[in-house]
C-alpha cells in the first residue's frame, strides 16, 4: 500500500517539473520566434518601400554586427571568407604572400614579412604601404583588400607600394605558407632549453613535444617555455601541451555553460614527456586564452614557476556554429576554470559602465594550488615572479597602438646599418632621438585626468566659473601634456624593449629577435638564474 501511495506522490511531481521546464522552453521559443517574425517583416518592408535603393546584404551585415556588439568581442558572425581565415589560422597552413598585413581604408601596411616567404623574396619590408593590387586601387576596394593577396600556390600578383614617400612596384609569386606554433627553440646554456610557443594551432603540441625532446637530447635539464604575446587558439592543444609536463588523468580545465552539453571536465589523456624537469613559463599582458589555461593550470598544479607580467585575462570559450550559405557564428558558449577552480576572466561584458565599456574586475577571490599556495581569479594569471621590463602601461600601449614605435623603427631601419644582431645596441642617444620623433609626430592620447578636466570645462553650466578659472584649467591640461612627454623617461625600460624588438625584426627577422633574447631579455635571464637555484625554485612552488 505504501508503494502505491509513493507512486501517486512522485508522478505528479515529475509531471509538474516537466511542465515547468517545458513551459520555460516554450516561452523562450515563442519569444525568439516572435522577434524573428517582427524583424523579417521589418526587413522586407524597409527594402521594398524605402525611398532610395537599398543593399539588403549590407543592411543585414550592419544589423548582425550591431546586435553582437552588445555581447563580448569574441562572439562574431563569420562570412565565407572569415570562415576560411578561421580554418587557416587553426590549421597553420595556407597559400599567400607570407606577411603580416594590417588593413586601412586606402592602403595595406606590411607589418612583418616572414623570412624566406614570397613577400620577403619580392623585396617587401615592414612599413611598406601597398596602394594597388593588380588593376585595383586599395582605396577603391570596398571589402578587405588583403583578400586580393591570397591565391593559389605559384600564381602571381602585381603590386604598387609606397616606401619612405617613393612609389615602387613588384611582382609576388604566391607560395604555400606554414605557420609554426613553435617558431624558435634553442639551448640558453649547457643545461637550460628555451622554447617559444607563439600560438595554439593544430601544430602546437607536436612541435612543442618535438622541441622538448630535441632539447633534452642536447642536454637540457631545465626548460623555459615562452608564452608571451601568445593570443591562444585551440582548447584541445592547450590541454595536450599541459599534458607534456603532467601525468595522464590530471584535471586541467573545466568549462561551465548554461547549455549542459558544454559543461565538461578536460583531463590529460596521454603519457607525458617529463613530469619532473624544472619548468619556468613566461607570460605577459598579451598572453591570452589557451596560454592562460596552460600557465594557469601549471601554476595551480605547482608544476611550473610563472614569470613575467599579469596575463590578459580571457576566461571565455568560443565555438563556431554552422549557419546557412557557408557562414558561421563564433559564439561564446562557456567560461573556463583552471585546475584550482578559478576563472581568470578580467572584463565583465555583462555589466558595463555609463559609457558602455566592460567593467574590469578589481575584487578577486582566493584559491589554492596543490601545495597550498594562494592564487586568485578574475584578473588573468598573476606570475609567481614579476619582471618589471615585461609589464606595460597606458603610455607604452598608446605608442604601440598609434604605430609610433612601428614608424620610428621603419625610419631607423632605413637610416642605420646593423651587420650582426650581436652588434646591435639601442643607446640613450637613440632613445633621445625617439623622444624627439614623438614630439614631432601627431601622437596624442587622453589620460583619465584630461578627460575629466575637459568634461568639466565643456558645457554652459560652467560659464559662471569665470575666465581665470578656465585659464587655470587650460594651464593644467598643458602641464599634463608636458608630463606625458616626460613620462617617456619614466617608462624608458618598457618602451625601449618594444623599440628594440621592432627594430631587430627589421634586420634579422623574428628568428634573430629570439636569438637576441637569449642574452639580452630580462625575463629569460631571470628565468635562467632561477632555474640555476633549485632551492629557490622549489621554495616558490612550495615543494618540501
Q: Are residues 296 and 385 in the same domain?
A: yes
φ and ψ at residue 170, rounded to 5 degrees: -160, 165
Percent of the chain with pLDDT over 90: 70
What mean pLDDT do residues 420-428 have? 92
CATH of the domain at 119: 2.30.42.10
The residue from 391, 420, 449 where one domain ends is 391
Catalytic residues: 289, 300, 314
CB-based contact 309:386 (threshold 8 Å): yes
Mean confidence (pLDDT) of the chain: 89
Percent of the chain with pLDDT over 70: 90
Cell of 169: 612596384
Cell of 426: 639601442
Q: Are residues 227 and 365 in the same domain?
A: yes
The residue from 326, 357, 391 where one domain ends is 391
Q: How far apart are CA 25 and CA 3, in angstroms?
A: 33
- Answer yes or no: is 20 within a domain: no
Q: What is the DSSP string of 237-250?
A: HHHHHHHTTS-TT-
Q: Are residues 135 and 233 in the same domain?
A: no
Q: Is 407 exposed, middle or buried (0-12, 13-18, 19+ CB in 10 A)?
A: middle
SS (HEC) of 459-507? CHHHHHHCHHHHHHHHHHHHHHHHHHHHHHHHCHHHHHHHHHHHHHHHH
Q: Are residues 140 and 232 in the same domain?
A: no
Q: Are residues 361 and 401 in the same domain?
A: no
Read off the pLDDT band of 136 (50, 70, 90): very high
- Answer yes or no: is 22 within a domain: no
The reported pTM is 0.86
pLDDT tens profile 284-309: 999 999 999 999 999 999 999 999 99
End-to-end distance of the chain based on CA atoms, in angstroms? 63
Cell of 542: 612550495
Q: Are residues 157 and 230 in the same domain?
A: no
- Answer yes or no: is 51 within a domain: no
Return the bridge partners of 424, or none. none
pLDDT for residue 281 is more than 90: yes
Q: What is the pLDDT of residue 84?
A: 82
Cell of 17: 517539473
Q: Are residues 171 and 213 in the same domain?
A: no
φ and ψ at residue 157, rounded to 5 degrees: -145, 130
CB-based contact 251:242 (threshold 8 Å): no
pLDDT for residue 433 is more than 70: yes
- Answer yes or no: is 100 within a domain: yes
CATH of the domain at 295: 3.90.226.10
Beta strand segments in 84-209, E: 93-96, 99-103, 108-113, 129-133, 136-137, 156-163, 166-173, 175-178, 184-187, 192-196
pLDDT for residue 4 is more than 70: no
- Answer yes or no: is 5 within a domain: no
Question: How many C-beta atoms surround the C-beta of residue 467 within 10 A?
Answer: 8
Q: How far apart are CA 281 and CA 292, in angstroms?
A: 11
What mean pLDDT do residues 224-248 have? 97
Q: How far apart are CA 232 and CA 254, in angstroms?
A: 17
- Answer yes or no: is 515 within a domain: yes
pLDDT for residue 210 is more than 90: yes
Q: Are residues 249 and 369 in the same domain?
A: yes
- Answer yes or no: is 469 within a domain: yes
Q: Are residues 156 and 188 in the same domain?
A: no
Q: Number of helices and strands (H, E) in the chain?
A: 15, 23
CB-based contact 309:284 (threshold 8 Å): yes
Domain extent, residue 163, equals 93-178
pLDDT for residue 120 is more than 60: yes
Q: Are residues 398 and 386 in the same domain?
A: no
Rg of the chain on CA atoms, in Å: 27
Q: How far apart are CA 420 and CA 136, in angstroms?
A: 39
The residue from 178, 201, 228 where one domain ends is 178
CB-based contact 301:373 (threshold 8 Å): no
- Answer yes or no: is 68 within a domain: no
Read off the pLDDT band of 455 (50, 70, 90): low
Question: How many C-beta atoms surround the C-beta of residue 514 within 10 A?
Answer: 22
How many domains are there within the chain? 3
Q: Are residues 162 and 223 in the same domain?
A: no
Q: What is the pLDDT of residue 22?
A: 44
Q: Are residues 403 and 387 in the same domain?
A: no
Q: What is the pLDDT of residue 20?
A: 40
Amino acid at each position: 500500500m505504501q508503494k502505491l501511495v509513493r507512486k501517486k506522490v512522485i508522478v505528479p511531481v515529475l509531471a509538474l517539473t516537466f511542465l515547468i521546464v517545458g513551459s520555460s522552453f516554450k516561452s523562450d521559443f515563442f519569444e525568439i520566434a516572435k522577434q524573428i517574425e517582427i524583424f523579417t517583416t521589418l526587413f522586407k518592408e524597409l527594402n521594398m518601400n524605402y525611398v532610395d535603393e537599398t543593399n539588403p546584404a549590407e543592411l543585414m551585415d550592419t544589423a548582425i554586427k550591431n546586435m553582437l556588439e552588445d555581447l563580448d568581442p569574441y562572439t562574431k558572425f563569420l562570412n565565407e571568407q572569415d570562415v576560411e581565415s578561421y580554418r587557416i589560422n587553426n590549421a597553420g597552413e595556407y597559400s599567400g604572400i607570407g606577411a603580416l598585413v594590417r588593413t586601412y581604408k586606402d592602403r595595406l601596411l606590411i607589418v612583418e614579412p616572414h623570412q624566406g616567404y614570397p613577400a620577403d623574396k619580392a623585396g617587401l619590408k615592414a612599413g611598406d604601404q601597398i596602394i594597388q593590387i593588380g588593376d585595383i586601387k586599395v582605396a577603391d576596394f570596398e571589402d578587405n583588400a588583403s583578400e586580393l593577396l591570397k591565391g593559389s600556390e605559384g600564381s602571381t600578383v602585381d603590386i604598387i607600394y609606397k616606401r619612405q614617400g617613393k612609389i615602387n612596384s613588384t611582382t609576388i609569386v604566391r607560395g604555400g605558407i606554414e605557420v609554426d606554433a613553435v617558431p624558435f627553440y634553442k639551448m640558453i646554456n649547457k643545461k637550460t632549453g628555451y622554447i617559444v610557443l607563439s600560438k595554439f594551432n593544430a601544430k602546437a603540441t607536436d612541435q612543442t613535444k618535438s622541441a622538448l625532446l630535441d632539447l633534452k637530447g642536447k642536454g637540457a635539464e631545465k626548460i623555459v617555455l615562452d608564452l608571451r604575446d601568445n593570443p591562444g587558439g585551440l582548447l584541445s592543444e592547450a590541454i595536450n601541451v599541459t599534458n607534456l609536463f603532467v601525468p595522464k588523468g590530471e584535471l586541467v580545465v573545466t568549462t561551465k555553460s548554461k547549455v549542459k552539453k558544454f559543461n565538461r571536465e578536460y583531463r590529460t589523456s596521454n603519457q607525458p614527456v617529463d613530469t619532473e624537469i624544472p619548468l619556468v613559463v613566461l607570460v605577459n599582458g598579451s598572453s591570452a586564452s589557451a596560454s592562460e589555461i596552460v600557465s594557469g593550470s601549471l601554476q595551480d598544479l605547482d608544476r611550473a614557476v610563472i614569470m613575467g607580467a599579469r596575463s590578459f585575462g580571457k576566461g571565455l570559450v568560443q565555438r563556431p556554429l554552422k549557419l546557412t550559405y557557408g557562414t558561421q557564428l563564433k559564439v561564446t558558449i562557456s567560461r573556463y576554470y583552471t585546475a584550482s577552480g578559478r576563472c581568470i576572466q578580467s572584463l565583465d561584458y555583462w555589466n558595463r559602465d555609463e559609457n558602455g565599456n566592460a567593467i574590469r574586475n578589481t575584487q578577486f577571490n582566493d584559491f589554492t594550488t596543490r601545495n597550498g599556495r594562494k592564487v586568485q581569479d578574475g584578473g588573468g594569471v598573476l606570475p609567481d615572479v614579476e619582471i618589471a621590463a615585461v609589464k606595460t602601461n597606458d603610455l607604452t600601449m598608446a605608442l604601440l597602438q598609434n604605430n609610433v614605435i612601428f614608424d620610428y623603427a621603419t625610419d631607423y631601419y632605413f637610416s642605420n646599418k646593423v651587420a650582426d644582431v650581436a652588434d646591435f645596441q639601442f643607446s640613450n642617444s637613440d632613445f633621445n632621438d625617439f623622444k624627439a620623433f614623438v614630439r614631432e609626430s601627431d601622437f596624442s592620447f587622453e589620460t583619465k585626468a584630461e578627460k575629466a578636466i575637459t568634461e568639466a570645462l565643456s558645457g554652459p553650466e560652467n560659464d559662471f566659473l569665470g575666465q581665470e578659472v578656465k585659464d587655470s584649467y587650460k594651464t593644467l591640461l598643458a602641464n599634463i601634456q608636458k608630463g606625458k612627454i616626460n613620462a617617456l623617461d619614466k617608462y624608458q625600460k618598457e618602451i625601449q624593449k618594444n623599440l628594440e624588438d621592432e627594430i631587430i625584426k627589421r634586420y634579422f627577422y623574428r628568428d634573430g629577435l629570439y636569438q637576441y633574447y637569449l642574452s639580452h631579455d630580462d625575463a629569460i635571464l631571470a628565468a635562467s638564474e632561477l632555474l640555476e637555484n633549485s632551492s629557490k625554485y622549489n621554495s616558490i612552488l612550495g615543494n618540501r
